[in-house]
Structure 1
């Protein structure tokens, strides 16, 4: 498939980054060790993306704790401060946006809102990059979001796919016209 084709064009070092990134989409591998490795990564995209991912996941757990009357902080993953630059959950940059999204009654709407936050973060992390490994990693993250939605709700999956294609066209046109920011 497409991922295999992408990976066949990557160096050994970039393939290792890709493997790590893909592990981040496997819920069985998302423990403290994974996030500590991400925090220690030399790659800015991997480090910053998974910092955001952890913050978003913690915001979701915090919201659910409050909604279900569970103790505050239960099941929140806070990494040791001496081993990471990750901040406390209260300092998560999009905590207010996450709470707003999670407050929706529609379950699919909540999931879509959370994925929209991830999508926007990916755009933010890759905006000043031309075509380096960070852009490829960002593309793969978006591809994973599209894939997830094709199985959850095909219409939304197709919409995300169109958005991905539009983003690609806009990115390529902007790069070749000398535009970096809109």
Structure 2
């Protein structure tokens, strides 16, 4: 167990709330904590912030003058330039710009709308597959978990509307393969995927906000289990960031519930982070 980020992790519970507003944000993390991480750990954290770049790319493809979310890794000018380069048939190095985003932009420009279930889902699955190759077990598993969730939900939607399932599944996991090839009602996955039943129930929820909350609860519980034995590591910091973003999003939608959720995180962190005797 690394104690490399001992003081940083021990400091995370210091976060406080001001009324119904977070006093600490995902953007603050980038400016205050990011520089204190090792280069390899910064690259892992960059993977988290790419979710904002994903949303920004979608916005700019629809409207080149759109206001973007500044929490991403790339500026509006950089993203606009990349989109323009790809539109004109140019190439962009994968060292300069994540390969999956180039793939998505080209897909968006060249694919008829009706043949992609949802652009957001397609982009999310490309992102998860890309991030799974990061080399960190927890981070890779987190993205594989989300890739599988996304693909299963896409398969449910495609089957319901009699769309092509195989063509809308992204990735090379065993779950992806089963979704592409199985005609069984459960795609042969109910015994293989431990969250299958939860996902079937969530998929039946018609109310979108409620459905999204249930999905976040599923993700939250997965995270809690996955980092149970990680204390002062980059894994715990990554999970904290995921939770912080989740709550930030819910506070913007539902202040009271978001605040309750936030308080529960802080309490659980306080209970988990016990200061070793030699540091007292």
Please give the TM-score of this superposition, normalised by the length of structure 2. Answer: 0.54
Contact 2:202-2:215 at 8 Å conserved across structures: yes
CA deviations 1:121-149 (Å, max 9, x no partner) are 11122111111000000111111111221
Please name the residue that 1:155 is paired with. 256
Equivalent-residue separation in structure 2 for 1:9 and 1:154 (angstroms): 31
Structure 2, unaligned runs of 5 or more: 1-27, 58-100, 102-122, 177-188
Of the three residues 123, 126, 138, the one matched with 2:224 is: 123
Shift of 1:75: 1.9
Please give the TM-score of this superposition, normalised by the length of structure 1. Answer: 0.80
Please name the residue that 1:50 is paired with. 143
Shift of 1:73: 3.7
Indicate the larger mover: 63-72 or 118-127: 63-72
Please name the residue that 2:44 is paired with. 17
Query: Which has the larger Rg?
Result: 2
Structure 1, unaligned runs of 5 or more: 80-85, 178-182
Equivalent-residue separation in structure 1 for 2:257 and 2:158 (angstroms): 28
* Runs of 4+ with >6 A deviation: none
Of the three residues 21, 31, 35, the one matched with 1:4 is: 31
Please name the residue that 1:62 is paired with. 155
CA 1:101–1:57: 2 relative to 1, 3 Å? same
Equivalent pairs, count: 170
